[in-house]
Structure formats: structure tokens, C-alpha cells
Structure 1
Amino acid sequence: MATKASPPNLHKSVAISKGYNFASTWEQNAPLSEQQQAAIASLSHAVAERPYPVNLAQDHHMSGQENGGLTDTAEDTGFGESKAIEAVLVNTNQFYKWFTDLESAMKSETEEKYQHYVSTLTDRIQTCDDILRQVDETLDLFNELQLQHQAVATKTKTLHDACDRLVVEKQRLIEFAEALRSKLHYFDELENISSNFYSPNMNVGNGNFLPLLKRLDECISYVESNPQYAESSVYLLKFRQLQSRALGMIRSHVLSVLKGASSQVQAAIRSAGATTASVSEGVEASVIYVRFKAASNELKPVLEEIESRSTRKEYVQILQECHKLYCEQRLFLVKGIVHQRISEFAKKEALPSLTRSGCAYLMQVCQLEHQLFNHFFPSSSEEISSLAPLVDPLSTYLYDTLRPKLIHETNIDLLCELVDILKVEVLGEQPSRRSESLAGLRPTLQRILADVHERLTFRARTHIRDEIANYIPSDEDLDYPTKLERSVEVKSETTSDDGNPDVFKAWYPPLERTISCLSKLYRCLEPSVFTGLAQEAVEVCSVSIQKASKLIAKRTTAMDAQLFLIKHLLILREQIAPFDIEFSVTYKELDFSHLLEHLRRILRGQASLFDWSRSTSLARTLSPRVLESQVDAKKELEKSLKATCEEFIMSVTKLVVDPMLSFVAKVTAVKVALSSGSQNQKVDSIMTKPLKDQAFATPDKVAELVQKVNTAIQQELPKVMAKMKLYLQNPSTRSILFKPIKTNIVEAHIQVQKLIKAEYSPEEQTIINMVSIQDLQTELDNLL
């Protein structure tokens, strides 16, 4: 029985395992829906319940009903129908046989039930295997369907990608075609533009002219920037020919309009009964400018178009030609008027008034012309060179009128006035006006100013040479101190009247002319030019004053000459101090003095003329040396003033204390002789005497020289101080000059006083009667 049950169990286990694996794989690869899962759960419950065999199901059901569900009797097992039960048992053997049969019947009944159940399970397992096999086939079909689906999807994606590539390629080709069409369009425009430009109805006033010109410029720019295209040079040449024709048409149109405007202006002037040269100011303003301005409206579109393209050289050239044509027509109209006005100024007015009036009139004309030019050429009106062909000839009329007068002008004051007019009134006022309208006039004005500077410099040098360096003084110029005394008298009288004395009359004329000339030139000339003139003027003025001092020394006294020189040198130094310049000038000159020695050596054969490797070569031999020398007129003036002051101090010192100085010198000589130890007995005997026993140093002699010095201090020194006061009005100057004189006098008294105290007795000192140093200083201080 166990052997019979083995195959079904094995089959069952294989079926269950396979079913489980299939269910797991199916669950993973193809999840079931909720309805499918519910069906499988129902099937599981149905299989899980073991049904009774058919032959036992009724019996079990019926016996269960009769016995309350109990099956323990023999009838329940079906043995009631067995013949073995009905057998009659006689003996034990029969019993055992009966029992054995009964047991066999029971076992048979029991196995039949289970066999039937096993058979049922086997059928169902077979059914499940069939189902699983069908499921496997279905899965295989699904796998094959999935592979087919993937293949279809791959082919579909490939088809889509190919379609996308074709769409992109189509778009690229369309764009390329459009780009090619746009590039070819520039070349195709040649025929269209040519036919329009060569049309008999085409002119600058036509509304299509400017758009065609703009399109032509675009085509030229494109062809120029793409020279790699085939036949681009040919097309560029043809385009440029069309452009030249168009620009020529513009030039002809501008010239025609400008000439028409000029003709209208001339006709209006003739109708007013005047000529171009004699037109009045009212007609000038209303006709020449107002009527000519109307022509700008006709030319403005074309000129604005040209100015907007002024970055291209072709349009720069045509714009310059239009400027030139405009200036020629304007010059033709206004040159006669300007020339007439300036000629009238030249006939009626002096040089300063002519300069002022002529410049003012020219500035007015330039401003009006610039305003009119701005109506025609608004974008290029700020360029100075645009109106140069018009402004330069007009300003040349004024320059040609002024220059001959400037060349012959000799008055330095008038030339300085012209400089002020040009620098302050004319050029100085331009920033306050429209500077761009007067900028074209500035070169001519600066040229006139340069000519005035040149003429002024020449006249200043001539003035310095003739009026200062070569000045010949008169007797009145050298009449010192009388001239100063008269000046003091005039000063006292004038002070009582108006308090404004003429101090310059007391100066030496070259000094007055030097200061006057430099003060006029200081603001009129450039600093570099003025420095050279100032250095020259100060130098020659100082020399002239020194010459006059020598002449005064011959006429009067040396002291008057010294004080004259000190006075004028101090005034010169004081007057040039405000000039903020350096009075030093470096002179450069060529020195050929070394050439003579080189030539001698060459002639003696000691050097070669063509030996370029040595210093005696031809180049070095014939090359001059540049010598530089610096002259500082201010330092030379200080040196001369210092030397003169020292000379005056020594002369006054000698005038007052010369006896004392001679006495001290003799005493010093005696002491030097004693110290030298002379062997001459006669001299030795003299030298060994006491100082007071010497013939020149007796008390009486010393008293006499002391008295002479006291007399000089009381009589001569006040005269000197009076002269100093006459020549030097400044008390501080006199004090500075007198201080070393006082020091010298006091020092001489101190030396003599020391000798007297050392060599003479008190009685002898009383005889000498020398004044004390304190009293001497008080007396000298009172002189100031």
C-alpha cells in the first residue's frame, strides 16, 4: 500500500514545486489583477478541502443524519452487507477465518476510499500540470510577443530619429538657401540700381535717389567685406562706378543750388541800388544772410545724408568738396564787403582803433558766417578747417592792412597798447562768446599778435641800445647834487599843493627809461623774450650809470659820484625786484681757437688730416667747441652796488679818522721794527726810545691829531650825512650805510685810546684830551 502511494506523492510534490515556481515567475513577470488573485484564492480553498469519495459521500451523509454524525458501528463502515458478518461461526478456526476475512474486507473498503481519493488528486494534479503547461506556452507566447514589441519599438524609434534628422536637414537647407539668396541679393541689386541711376528721370531731388544711394553703400560694404566670393572685385568696381556717378550728381546739385542762391542775392542787391562792395549793413544782414539761408532747406536732406556717412572716405571727400563750393560762393559774395569795411577803418582810424574795429568786425562776420554754415552743415560746423577757405581770405584782408602799419610803427607805448587790445579785448573775449564760431579767426589774430610781439621786441632792443646803452648825458643830467637840491625844493612846494611830486625827474634818464620800458614790456611779451630783454636792459643801464658816475666825479667830487651810483643802483635793484623772472642768460658761442694748433701739427707732419681714429682727425679738427657762459645781470648789479658802498664807506672813514689811522700805522711799523732786532745802531737807538719820545708821537702831536679828528667829526661828517640824506631819502638805507662808518670811527678811537693808556702818563693823557668812547658813540648816533 505504501508502494502504491509513493508515485502519487512524488508526482504531487513535483507538481506543487513546478506550480509554485510558475506562480512566482508569473507573479514577477506578469502581476495579477485583484480579480485574478481572488479567483486563485478561491481555487486554493477548493483544493485545500478533501472531498469524500462518491460512494462514501452518501453513506457518510446519511449515517450522519441518522446517528447524529457518528460512524463507529459496523453499519457505518458498510460492513452490514458483508457476507462475512452473516456467517455462522462454529469453531475458533472459523472465527479466525471470519475475522481475517472481515479484516480484509475492512482493509479493502478503507483502501478503496483512499485509492479513490488518490485517483481524484492525481487527476487534479494532471489538470494542474496541463494548466501549467498551457501557462508556460502562454508565457512563451508573451515573451515572443514582448520581443516582437521591442523590435517594433526599436524600428519605430529609428524611424522617428530619421524623420527628425530629415526635418533638421530640411531646415538647414532652407536656411542655407535663404542665406544664399540674401547674399546673392546684393549682387542681383547691381542691375536694379544701374537701371535706376541711368534713368533719364533720376536726379538728386528724386525721392528714390537717397534710398538707392543707401542701398548702393550697403552693397559696396558687403562686397568689400567678402572678397572671397567669385567676381567680387568686378562687382565692386561696377558698384564704385555707380557711387562715383551718384556723388558727382550730388556735387553738381549742390553747386547748382549754391549758384542759384548767389544769383538771387546779387539780383536782390542790384534791385536795392547797390553794388556788392558798397552794400549797407541793413542790406548785408537781410539779403546776404537771410536770403541765402533759404537755400539750405533744399540741400539739407542731401547734406545731412552725406554728413551721416562721413565715416567713409568717399563721403568725406564729397563733404569737403561741398564745404569748398559753399566757401567759394560765400567768399564771392562777402569779400568785397569785408574789404570795403576794413579799408574804411584804415582811412579813418589810427592803428589801435583800426585793430580794435577791424577785429570786432571780422569776429561779427565770422559769427554770422558760422551760423549760416551751421544751417547747411549742422554736423560738421564744429570743425575749424571747414570754414577755413572762407575765413582765411577774409582775415587776410585785415592782416594785410595792419602789417605795413606795424612794420613802420616805432612807438613802444602804441605797440604795447596793440598787445593789450589783441590779448585782452580780442583773444580774451572769445571764450565768453561762441568759441567755435571764432576759432577760424584765431590763427590770424595770433599771427597779428606775433607780428606785434616781433616788432615790439625789435623796438625794445633798439630803445635799449639807443636810449640807454648809447645815451649821451647833458650837463643838466650830470648836475649833481644841484639837481637833487632843486628836486627837494620842488618837492616841498608840490607837497603843499597837491602832494604828488615827480620823483622820476631826479633820476638819471637811462634809469627812468629802463624801468619804464621793462614795466611796459613785462605783461606784453613772453617770459622767455622778456627775460632776455630785461637782462640786457639791466646790464646796459648799470653800465650807463657807472659811466655817469665817473663823469660826475670829474665835475664835482668823488663822494657825489659814489652817492649818485649808490642811489641809482639801489633804485634799479628795487624796481626790478617785482619782476618774477631770472635775470640770468646763458650765451653759447663757437670756439675755433684750438684749430690753429691742430693745423700747425698737421703742417709739421705730426698728425694726419685723414686719421679718423684719433682726436686729430678731420672731423674733430674742424669741429668747433661750444662755449657756454652765463651772465646774471642781477648778481652783477649786486656786486657793483656792494663795491661802491664799500668804496664810499672807506672814503668817509678816511676823511674823518685818517690822522688816527696814520698814527696807528706808524706805531705798528715801529713795533715791527723793534721786534725784528735791527743791527743798525742809529736805527736801533731811535727804536729804543719810548713811544711818547718819538717825533710823531709826542703828546702835542697826538693831541693835534685827536683835535683834527674831532674837528672832522663835528664839521665834515655832518656834511657827509647831509649829502647822504640828499641822495638817499630812505632813513633805513642811510642807517645801514652809516653803520660800518660808525664802526670804523669807533674802532680807530679804541685803538688810539689803548695806545695812549699804555704809553702815556695821566698828565699827558689830559693834554691829549681824547673823547670817551661812549660820548663818541652818542655824538655819532645824533648825526642820524
Structure 2
Amino acid sequence: MSSATRTSVPNSEAVNRGYNFASTWEQNAPLTEQQQAAIVALSHAVVERPFPSKLSQGNISKENNGLSVSTKPGNVEESGEIDGVLVNTNQFYKWFTDLEAAMKSETEEKYQQYVNTLTERIQTCDGILQKVDETLDLFNELQMQHQVVATKTKTLHDACDRMVIEKQRLIEFADSLRSKLNYFDELENVATSFYSSNTSVASENFLPQLKKLDECISYVENNPQYAESNVYLVKFRQLQSRALGMIRAHVLSVLKSSTSQVQAALRGSGGNKAAVSEGVETSILYVRFEAAASELKPVLEEIERRSSRKEYVQILSECHRIYCEQRLSLIKGIVSQRISEYSKKETLPSLTRSGCAYLMQVCQQEHQLFDKFFPSTSEDSSSLAPLVDPLCTFLYDTLRPKFLHEANLDALCELVDILKIEVIGEQLSRRSESLAGIRPTLDRILADIHERLTFRARTHIRDEIANYLPLDEDLNYPAKLEQSAESKSDPSSIDQSSDVFKTWYPPLEKTVSCLSKLYNCLEQAVFTGLAQEAVEFCSVSIQKASKLVAKRSSQMDGQLFLIKHLLILREQIAPFDIEFSVTHKELDFSHLLEHLRRILRGQTSLFDWSSTTTSLARTLSPRVLESQIDAKKELEKNLKATCEEFIMSVTKSVVDPMLSFVTKVTAVRVALSSGAQNQKLESAMGKPLKDQAFASPDKVAEIIQKVNAAMQNELPRVMEKMKLYLQNPSTRTILFKPIKTNIIEAHEQVLSLLTKEYSQEEITNINMVSIAELQAQLDKLV
């Protein structure tokens, strides 16, 4: 295509868009290497263009160094063929030029047609685009108009919604105002109803009107910002007070009527209401009041349902009090008379059982009846207290004088067991809900018995243990033990266990018996104090008795007596799971005397409050001195000291000659080692040991003979006494073991001296037993 032709193409907007699109396409979608290679291959393939189909090789002939071209008449452009004979080069060039022009014309004609077609289409597109632009302008204008219409429509809808909401709000406000005004309008309706002469608590409209009144009061209380709310509240409360007063009067009237009917029935059935049988009593006292409960049930249920408000709490409490007063007026005489009859006929333990059982029966029946009147508040024991407490007081006033005059520990312990185990532990625990009101009285009786038992226990410890005056037969040891041993060996003896206690010193038996009785009856803190006192006094009493036994019999009998009873006391108090230590606090005023002396001497002033002196308050205040006493440790200490004393006494009675001999030898050697100043004494001590007067073989043989005699005579007698006092073989073994050790050590010391200082002949003449023989001899004694 020539440049003229290209310039003739109209430069329209569509062409620009196409060109821009092609350029953008070329930039955004570059050809791959494979696509580029394909284009190169195509370009090489079309380099040699073929002749037109209308030209053929047959039309070109070669003659005589020239070209012959055949041409046909007609338009070359139409036929595309040129017929003629080319004679020379000029003719060829001319022919070629014509041929080229024809070919170019033929080629440009197709492209010109394509250009024309594209131009027409571009013009068509431009026209379409112009129409589209006009259409878009119309559409934009239409959209703007639609937006304006939509805005106006939305504004109208919003205004309508606001008007609807406002209308609904006004309707709700009117309804709320109407509902609020209803509470104030109810004042006249309720007042008319309550002040009417025909109004009564039993009427059908009373409780609904009372409910409306409560609602009005609650509403006015919660909205004090309303005009004249205080005035309306006062008027509503006046109406409420009048209604509650009517309820109180109605309850009192019904209960009084029932009480009058029961009293009339009691007078008609026997004349004396205290003599009515149990069956008739139940029928009269309870059945007729159950009818009253059915009559008052709707009103009392409403009161209990509204007991969260203080006004109803007060009226409910008044109803409880009225009920208790009416019931108490009916049954107090019967209960008092029954308990008095028990008191006249029965002993104190039996009276406690029967009195508590009867009182629990009455309280249970009263609780069941009370539950029918007040089902929601019957669980609270304080509600029935005005009725139960006076009934319990009858039993308390009857029992208290009796156990305050009781001095027997066994009887008091039995009362504790009855109340603690049988009454409170068993009967009261099974019916704890209905008998909760009687629990304080039972606890009070038990506390008083504990106090009386503690007092009597202290008196018993003081009189029977601490201040016990032994009789001759109490100190008849070892005769009492020998008699007991004979009774045990006698086949005809039946009660051998009682003989064991007969051999005990009486304060020991009383201590063990007293602690055994009190252990489960008193609180641990109280029992600990009593046990500490009892063990301490018993230990002192046994020590005193051991001295008396030693005077009557022998020193060994006194020691074994003390060991025996201290061991028994330690064994008997072991099961008690307590600490036998008590802290005693005392007030010490001893420093006041010295301070008064200083005041009298003028060394200090009574009113001197300077910082250098003690203030008056501190000076005149007593000092608190604390001392802790552990009776169990003191018992162990005394037992250990007594055992050691007995061991040394037995050891000395058997091997005392040997111990004296060893002591003298030790003294001589100490004197020699320290140097003697007296020449005569030095010469005397310089002799060999066997040449000393006290250590001659004859003297040593005499010592050995005395020890052997004691081993044969004294030691078996000691063992017999130990068996008599200490019946447990293990105890005797433990006590005899150090004695055996001491005897063997004494023999070993003497044997060592004999081996070093004496000849074998002298040792043979002394005739001392070997250590092995001695051990065998001692083992036979155990």
C-alpha cells in the first residue's frame, strides 16, 4: 500500500482505539520465542512469490535471443494477460513495467476495498459510539433523576416511620400513664372495701384486695418522684395496718374459740384436765385445733408467702405468739402435772428418762400441729419457742434441785450417759427437726450436771485421795498380798478379780475408778484438769503410804509397795488419750512489799509519774506467775527414783562386803598415788595388798563367805518379795536385770584384784565362785 493510500485512510477515533489496543496488546502480550520462530519461517516461505495463475510459462517463448509475448486484445487489467513479442530490452522493460503496474493495480484494488470496508465500519462504529455516548448521557440524567426521586421517597418513608414510632411511643406512654394511674386510683377502691361494714377476713375479696394494696405500696415506694407519692404511701399504709389488724383479730378470734371449745371438752370429759388419758387428750387437744388450722390456712399462707416484707414479718410473729399463748394455756397444766407425778414415783435416772421422753413426745405433737398452721416457718425452732421453753422449764425446774443434791459420782455419771447418749444422741438425733426447740434445755441440764459432777469429782479427789487416812488393814503389807496369793491358789475361790483390787492401796483404786467414770462424761479440758489432780494426789498418797509400810514391815516392803502401785497407776492411766500437764497461773504481790518499804523510807513517792520510775498502775498490778505441772512425768520420775533406790538397796544387801572391800582398796591406792606425808602411814601402805590387815586372805575369804551366804539366803528372799509384789514376770526381769549386773560387776572387780594381788593357792582358799557359775545361779532366781 502506497503512502498516498495510507494517508487517505481517515484518522478516526476507532482507528486510534485500535492502534492503542494493538500497542497495548503488543506490550502486555509479547510473543514467545516459538511464536517468533514461526513468523520467521513464514516470512522465508513467502519471499519468492509465484506468478499469477493467469500467467503461464507457455505464453513466454524464446526466439532468437529474444522474448515473444503473446497479448490478447482487451483490457490488460480485465484479463490480466499481455500478448506480444518482446524483441529487445526496451520492450521487455516496458512489458515488465506494464506487468508490474497491472499486478500492483490488481493488489491495491483488494486492499483498497478492504480499506473502504474498514473505513465504512469505522464510521459506523463512530456513529454507534456517538449514539452510545448520547444514550449514556441520557442514562446518567435518568439515574440522577432516579436518585432524586429515591431520596425524596426515602425521606418520605423515614418521616412516616418516625411518625409511626412516635405514635407507638405515645400509645405506650398513654398505656403506661394509665397503668401508673391505676395504682393511685386503687386507693378509693381498696379504702371502700376495707372500710365497709360487710368486709371480713374470711370473705373472698379480702385477700385479692390485700394483694392489690401491697402492689400499690410497693409501686409508690419504688417511685417516690411522683407527685404526692408520700401522701398516697401514708394512706396505703394506713389501709394495710387496718387490714393486718383485721387479720390479727381474726386469728385471735379463731384460736380463742378453739381454746374455749377444748377447755369445755376437757371439763366435760373429766372435770380435771390434768387427769385426762392420753388418747382423749390427743383427741381433744389436737384434733379440734386441726379444724382451726384448716380455717386459717388461706390467710396464714398469704402472710407466710409475703414474709419478706417487714410488716408481714411482724404480723406473722404476732400470730406465732398468739398461737403459742393459746396452746400454752391448754397444755401447761397437763405437762406440769405429768412431770410432777413422775418426780414423786421415780428415781432420778428414771425421772430423767421418762421426763425427757414425755417432753419430747409433747414437743413433737406440738410441732406437727404448728406445721399445719404455719407450714413455711415451722422449721424455725424459735417460732415455737414461746410454747416449748415454758414446757421445758417444768422439766428443768424438777430435775435441777434433785441432781444438785446428788453426791454420788456413779449416779451423776449415769445421768450424763442418759442425757448424752440415750436422749440427745439417739432420740433427739432421729427427730432433730421437730425437737430442735427442746435441745437448748437438754444442753442446759447436761451442762448443769457436768458442773455438779466436776464439783463432786474435785471433792472426791480431795477427800478420798489427797486427804485419805489409811487404816491398819490398808498398810498390812505384805500380809494382804500373801492372803491374795493363797486365795488364788485355793480352787474354791471364785471371785479372784476382786481380790486384785483388794490388794491395791485404796486411793489408787479410787483414782482409777474415778477417772474411768469421768473420762466419757466430761469434756476433755475439764477431765484433763481433774485427771492431773487425781494422779498427782494419788502419787503423793502412795508415797506417804510407802513410808508407813516401811515402818511397819521393812524398807524393802515400802519400796516394793511404792513400785507396785506406781506401776499400776501408770498402766491404768495409759489408755486415757490426754495430756496430764496443767498450767497453773498465780498472782504474785511480793514486789509490792518492797515498793511500800521504799515509799515509807522516803526513797520514792507514791505520786511520782516520771519516766525513770515505774508507773503507779504497773507498780500496784500483780505479776502473773505461770507454772506447768505434768503429773505423768512426775509419776515416771518418782517411779524411776524408787526403782533405782530399790536396786541399790538390794545390791548393797547382797554384795555390800565386796563393795566396802573395793572401796577401801581404791582409797589406799588413791592415797599412795597422792603421796603420804606420815612416814609411818607410808610404810604401812607400802606393803602389798594381801599384807594389809583388811585385805588378808582370811579377811577376803570371810567377805566372800558373807556374800555367798547373802546370795543363798537374802537374794532368794528378795526374789520372793518381788514375786509377791510384782506379779508380771517381765516387770520382775526388768527390775532384777540391773541388780544382777551390779552383783556380777562387784564379783568381777574383786576377782580382778585377787588375780593381780594374790597367789593361786590363796585364791583357791578364798573359794570365790566363777563368773559363769554366778550368772547361772542368778538366772535360776528369775
**TM-score interval (norm. to shorter):** 0.7 to 0.9
In the other structure, the counterpart of 2:300 is: 303
In the other structure, the counterpart of 1:83 is: none
Contact 1:345 1:354 in 2 (8 A): yes
Q: 1:286 aligns with which of 257, 267, 283?
A: 283
Q: Which one-letter code corresponds to 1:176 in the other structure?
A: F
| In structure 1, C-alpha distance between the alignment counterparts of 2:140 and 2:704, rounded to whole Å | 159
The question of 1:751 aligning with 2:753 is answered no
Q: Which one-letter code corresponds to 2:699 in the other structure?
A: K
Cα 1:494–1:426, aligned 2, differ >3 Å: closer, same or farther?
farther
Coordinate RMSD, CA, aligned: 2.4
In the other structure, the counterpart of 1:255 is: 252
What are the equivalent positions in structure 2 for 1:12-51 lying under 5 Å apart?
none
**Residue 581 of structure 1 aligns to a residue in which SS?**
coil
The question of 1:642 aligning with 2:612 is answered no
Contact 1:664 1:752 in 2 (8 A): yes
Contact 1:323 1:386 in 2 (8 A): yes
- Deviation, structure 1 residue 191: 1.2
Query: Structure 2: any 5+ residue segments left out of the alignment?
Result: 1-9, 14-132
- Deviation, structure 1 residue 140: 12
Q: 1:161 aligns with which of 145, 158, 167?
A: 158
- Deviation, structure 1 residue 638: 0.3
- Deviation, structure 1 residue 381: 0.5
**Residue 433 of structure 2 aligns to a residue in which SS?**
helix
- Deviation, structure 1 residue 146: 9.0
- Deviation, structure 1 residue 726: 0.4
Contact 1:430 1:438 in 2 (8 A): no
- Deviation, structure 1 residue 605: 5.1
Q: Which one-letter code corresponds to 2:667 in the other structure?
A: A
**Residue 582 of structure 2 aligns to a residue in which SS?**
strand
| In structure 2, C-alpha distance between the alignment counterparts of 1:722 and 1:142, rounded to whole Å | 141
What are the equivalent positions in structure 2 for 1:79-90 lying under 5 Å apart?
none
Contact 2:487 2:493 in 1 (8 A): no
The question of 1:354 aligning with 2:359 is answered no
Cα 1:647–1:165, aligned 2, differ >3 Å: closer, same or farther?
same
Answer with 490-499 or 750-759: which moved more. Answer: 490-499
The question of 1:513 aligning with 2:513 is answered no
Q: 1:617 aligns with which of 615, 619, 622?
A: 615
**Residue 440 of structure 1 aligns to a residue in which SS?**
helix
Answer with 244-253 or 225-234: which moved more. Answer: 225-234
Q: Which one-letter code corresponds to 2:185 in the other structure?
A: D
- Deviation, structure 1 residue 142: 11
Contact 1:511 1:572 in 2 (8 A): yes
| 1:412-453: CA deviation from partner (whole Å, max 9, x where unpaired) | 000000000001110011455221111100000011101110
Contact 2:560 2:725 in 1 (8 A): yes
**Residue 471 of structure 2 aligns to a residue in which SS?**
coil
Q: 2:540 aligns with which of 519, 539, 543?
A: 543
Cα 1:147–1:619, aligned 2, differ >3 Å: closer, same or farther?
closer
In the other structure, the counterpart of 2:530 is: 533
What are the equivalent positions in structure 2 for 1:329-368 lying under 5 Å apart?
329-368=326-365
Q: Which one-letter code corresponds to 2:574 in the other structure?
A: A
Answer with 189-198 or 529-538: which moved more. Answer: 189-198
Contact 1:607 1:616 in 2 (8 A): no
| In structure 2, C-alpha distance between the alignment counterparts of 1:380 and 1:182, rounded to whole Å | 35
In the other structure, the counterpart of 1:226 is: 223
In the other structure, the counterpart of 1:387 is: 384
Q: Which one-letter code corresponds to 1:780 in the other structure?
A: L
Q: Which one-letter code corresponds to 1:611 in the other structure?
A: W
Cα 1:172–1:751, aligned 2, differ >3 Å: closer, same or farther?
same
- Deviation, structure 1 residue 498: 6.5
Q: Which one-letter code corresponds to 1:433 in the other structure?
A: R
| In structure 2, C-alpha distance between the alignment counterparts of 1:138 and 1:730, rounded to whole Å | 133
Contact 2:450 2:522 in 1 (8 A): yes
The question of 1:191 aligning with 2:201 is answered no
In the other structure, the counterpart of 1:424 is: 421
In the other structure, the counterpart of 1:714 is: 712
Contact 1:467 1:510 in 2 (8 A): yes
Q: 2:629 aligns with which of 624, 631, 641?
A: 631
What TM-score comes out, normalization by structure 1 length? Answer: 0.80
Cα 1:466–1:269, aligned 2, differ >3 Å: closer, same or farther?
same
What are the equivalent positions in structure 2 for 1:468-617 lying under 5 Å apart?
468-493=465-490, 497=494, 500=497, 502-604=499-601, 606-607=603-604, 609-611=607-609, 613-614=611-612, 616-617=614-615
- Deviation, structure 1 residue 514: 0.4
What are the equivalent positions in structure 2 for 1:419-458 lying under 5 Å apart?
419-430=416-427, 432-458=429-455
- Deviation, structure 1 residue 553: 1.2
Q: 2:175 aligns with which of 178, 191, 197?
A: 178
| In structure 1, C-alpha distance between the alignment counterparts of 2:493 and 2:216, rounded to whole Å | 95
In the other structure, the counterpart of 1:81 is: none
Contact 2:481 2:724 in 1 (8 A): yes
Contact 1:564 1:727 in 2 (8 A): yes
Query: Structure 1: any 5+ residue segments left out of the alignment?
Result: 1-12, 18-135
**Residue 415 of structure 1 aligns to a residue in which SS?**
helix
Cα 1:195–1:676, aligned 2, differ >3 Å: closer, same or farther?
same
What are the equivalent positions in structure 2 for 1:636-715 lying under 5 Å apart?
636-715=634-713
| In structure 2, C-alpha distance between the alignment counterparts of 1:243 and 1:317, rounded to whole Å | 13
**Residue 271 of structure 2 aligns to a residue in which SS?**
coil
Cα 1:461–1:561, aligned 2, differ >3 Å: closer, same or farther?
same
| In structure 2, C-alpha distance between the alignment counterparts of 1:276 and 1:497, rounded to whole Å | 57
Q: Which one-letter code corresponds to 1:534 in the other structure?
A: A
- Deviation, structure 1 residue 274: 3.2
The question of 1:264 aligning with 2:261 is answered yes
Q: 1:322 aligns with which of 314, 319, 344?
A: 319
In the other structure, the counterpart of 1:29 is: none
Contact 2:190 2:209 in 1 (8 A): yes
- Deviation, structure 1 residue 275: 2.0
In the other structure, the counterpart of 1:723 is: 721
| 1:30-52: CA deviation from partner (whole Å, max 9, x where unpaired) | xxxxxxxxxxxxxxxxxxxxxxx
Cα 1:205–1:677, aligned 2, differ >3 Å: closer, same or farther?
same
- Deviation, structure 1 residue 293: 1.0
Contact 2:428 2:435 in 1 (8 A): no
- Deviation, structure 1 residue 302: 0.2
Cα 1:656–1:144, aligned 2, differ >3 Å: closer, same or farther?
closer
- Deviation, structure 1 residue 155: 4.8
- Deviation, structure 1 residue 570: 0.3
- Deviation, structure 1 residue 613: 3.1
| In structure 1, C-alpha distance between the alignment counterparts of 2:520 and 2:138, rounded to whole Å | 119
Contact 1:468 1:540 in 2 (8 A): yes
Cα 1:146–1:264, aligned 2, differ >3 Å: closer, same or farther?
same
| In structure 2, C-alpha distance between the alignment counterparts of 1:737 and 1:141, rounded to whole Å | 134
Cα 1:768–1:250, aligned 2, differ >3 Å: closer, same or farther?
same
Contact 1:598 1:616 in 2 (8 A): no
| 1:351-395: CA deviation from partner (whole Å, max 9, x where unpaired) | 000000000000000110000001000000000101100000001
Cα 1:137–1:420, aligned 2, differ >3 Å: closer, same or farther?
closer
What TM-score comes out, normalization by structure 2 length? Answer: 0.81
Cα 1:141–1:631, aligned 2, differ >3 Å: closer, same or farther?
closer
- Deviation, structure 1 residue 154: 5.2
| In structure 2, C-alpha distance between the alignment counterparts of 1:147 and 1:715, rounded to whole Å | 146
In the other structure, the counterpart of 2:762 is: 764
Cα 1:747–1:140, aligned 2, differ >3 Å: closer, same or farther?
closer
**Residue 584 of structure 2 aligns to a residue in which SS?**
strand
Q: Which one-letter code corresponds to 2:353 in the other structure?
A: R
Contact 1:615 1:621 in 2 (8 A): no
Contact 1:649 1:737 in 2 (8 A): yes
The alignment-based identity, stated in percent, is: 78
Contact 2:654 2:714 in 1 (8 A): yes
In the other structure, the counterpart of 1:34 is: none
| In structure 1, C-alpha distance between the alignment counterparts of 2:764 and 2:674, rounded to whole Å | 33
Contact 1:591 1:625 in 2 (8 A): yes
| 1:444-493: CA deviation from partner (whole Å, max 9, x where unpaired) | 00111011101110000000001111110000000100111111112222
